[in-house]
Structure 1
Amino acid sequence: MKRTVALAALAALTVQAHAAEGARWGEGIGFYIGVDSLPTVASGTFAGLANPNAGRLTLLFDHGDHFHGIGAYSYSGSVSAPVIDPTNTNNRIPETYARTDADNQALALTAGTGAFAGKLVSAVQAAGVNHEYGHLGAASIQSLAGLGEQADALYGSSGARWSQAYDGVLVGLKLESISAGLKVAAQGDLDLFDTSNVAVLGDGHSLSFLPTFYVDSTAAAGTYTAQFSLVNLGSNQAVLDGGTFYIDFAVAPAVPEPGTWAMMAAGLATLGVVARRRKAG
């Protein structure tokens, strides 16, 4: 009985941990872009040192009532000899702590339709990391202001660290590297980075970006990765470029068609008959 109660309690806690829906998930937006205003590192080994991410564009993952900074500038080394790194340990989507088993190491690419027929595409799915991290759209953090109680709480979280507005900021998404065969579509463009490695997302106050990542349906099974950074293309040079981050996608091994299974079964049966005849002879 005690075991049953304990398991029920654990299940309830697990559901609560994953129950929070993002403020704009219904629109496909799970990420926001803001500028870090924290002047010094608040905690940890390097507490008290100047925040290396201060004044930088930062990708923020909506985690219900707070943000997770993705790929922000950070320190390594020691307090006496700190080294500034243009990323941090939490620089991948899905976040590494969420990769609890072999099935959620990356976002699954699944069969597309319409303009993406014959492709395997990114899409929000019902559960797991493909649901929590599958809302790959990004918007200005300013879009949350006045949107409702949940959005306002998110907007002002962490002491409103990222909610300060800056004029003269034009945000660009810089493609640092990408796996062969993986492409990005957005804003009606089926290959966003075919002519340049920087895509303009829009004004820092109002940008909205809804990408689709895809490969051909014949792509080899495995992990496909895109590495990005946020850059300021506007006139306000007080706002600096952000750190690098990665998004990992997975192509599952092809599942044999029913006819293929039947042929394999028939072949195995034939081999069995031959083996028995040889043994009998």
Structure 2
Amino acid sequence: MIRSSLLVLAGVLSLGAQASEPLRGDEGIGYYVAVDSLATIASGTYAGQANPNYGRLTFLFDHGNHFHGIGAYSYTGPGSAPVVNGTNANNRIPETYTLAAPLPLTAGSGSYAGLLVSGVLPESALQHEYSYLGMSSIQSLAGNPAGSERDVLFNSSGGRWNGTLDNVSVALKLESITPGLKVAANGDTDLFDTGNLYLLGAGNSFDFLPVFWTAAGAAPGTYSAQFSLVNLGSNLAVRDSGTFHFDFAVAAPVPEPGTWAMLLGGLFMIGLTAARRAR
């Protein structure tokens, strides 16, 4: 009976661990930009307080039938004396609660040959659903049949995110980045080489497909980029977003077979010499 229960539990965990596909995954889109329309926090420690993220651009991760707000403005401290925080605890991609490793940068091809680049990971990878790095306006999900997957996602959370972004021009602001990590898109290999703002486009209609990259010889380790979303349009009621991060990893190079042979041979000789001295 115990063994049977364990097998059932293992099956549940396995299903829960499978990565889901974003609705626009075939286009490389896994994230959306919307404006938060929730004026008052309804539950939890800060229930009844004004939502500090209200009216702000918000970076959203497509999680099937709902969104995860990444880096939204939030509160810290006691409910009786809340302090506004310009981000939230869930402000990294991959999301830290999953315990997933940073997104790996791997050998590029074509115009990215000789570089280590981001890309969509195999479905078996824990970070798979986070690796669709494309971003789009929330309004790209509008106008679908009622009850369809896109309609459900668009109107999730009681319609909190489905407002239009009229007269909003969305820009991606680079707040900080690990030296050696670059961002490319639309034929430009370094979007932030001359400034820290990149215009994504009109609030209701943009798509953005970035590629993150390093040189092939980049030092192994974690490379991170911190961003926020900025409104450059005339609709001043829409304010800038909180900050969020993308985390990437450069793996240590794998030694060539000949290197392993030399290493093992060297260890053998050291061991042989030590054995002779011990006689």
TM category, shorter: over 0.9
Q: How does 1:1-281 map to 2 (within 5 A)?
A: 2-4=2-4, 6-12=6-12, 14-16=14-16, 18=18, 20-99=20-99, 104-126=100-122, 127-147=124-144, 149-280=148-279
How many angstroms apart in 2 are the aligned matches of 1:36 and 1:273? 70
What secondary structure does 2:263 align onto? helix
Whether the aligned pair in 1 keeps the contact of 2:139 and 2:164 (CA below 8 Å) is yes
Change (3 A) 1:9 1:79: closer
Task: Tell me the CA shift for residue 105 of structure 1.
Answer: 2.4
How many angstroms apart in 2 are the aligned matches of 1:17 and 1:154? 21
Letter in 2 for 1:237: L
Identity %: 60
What secondary structure does 1:129 align onto? coil
**CA RMSD, aligned part only?**
1.5
How many angstroms apart in 2 are the aligned matches of 1:73 and 1:55? 11
Whether the aligned pair in 2 keeps the contact of 1:108 and 1:130 (CA below 8 Å) is no
What secondary structure does 2:3 align onto? helix
Letter in 2 for 1:259: G
Letter in 2 for 1:62: D
Task: Tell me the CA shift for residue 2 of structure 1.
Answer: 4.5
Question: How many residue pairs end up in the alignment?
Answer: 276
Change (3 A) 1:210 1:261: same
Whether the aligned pair in 2 keeps the contact of 1:73 and 1:85 (CA below 8 Å) is yes
Change (3 A) 1:13 1:129: closer
How many angstroms apart in 1 are the aligned matches of 2:254 and 2:26? 32
Whether the aligned pair in 1 keeps the contact of 2:182 and 2:212 (CA below 8 Å) is yes
What secondary structure does 1:267 align onto? helix
Whether the aligned pair in 2 keeps the contact of 1:94 and 1:129 (CA below 8 Å) is no
Whether the aligned pair in 2 keeps the contact of 1:136 and 1:211 (CA below 8 Å) is yes
Whether the aligned pair in 2 keeps the contact of 1:94 and 1:133 (CA below 8 Å) is yes
Q: Deviations over 1:126-164 (max 9, x none)?
A: 123331100010000100113461111100000110111
Q: Structure 2 unaligned segments of length 5 or more: list them.
A: none
Letter in 2 for 1:131: H
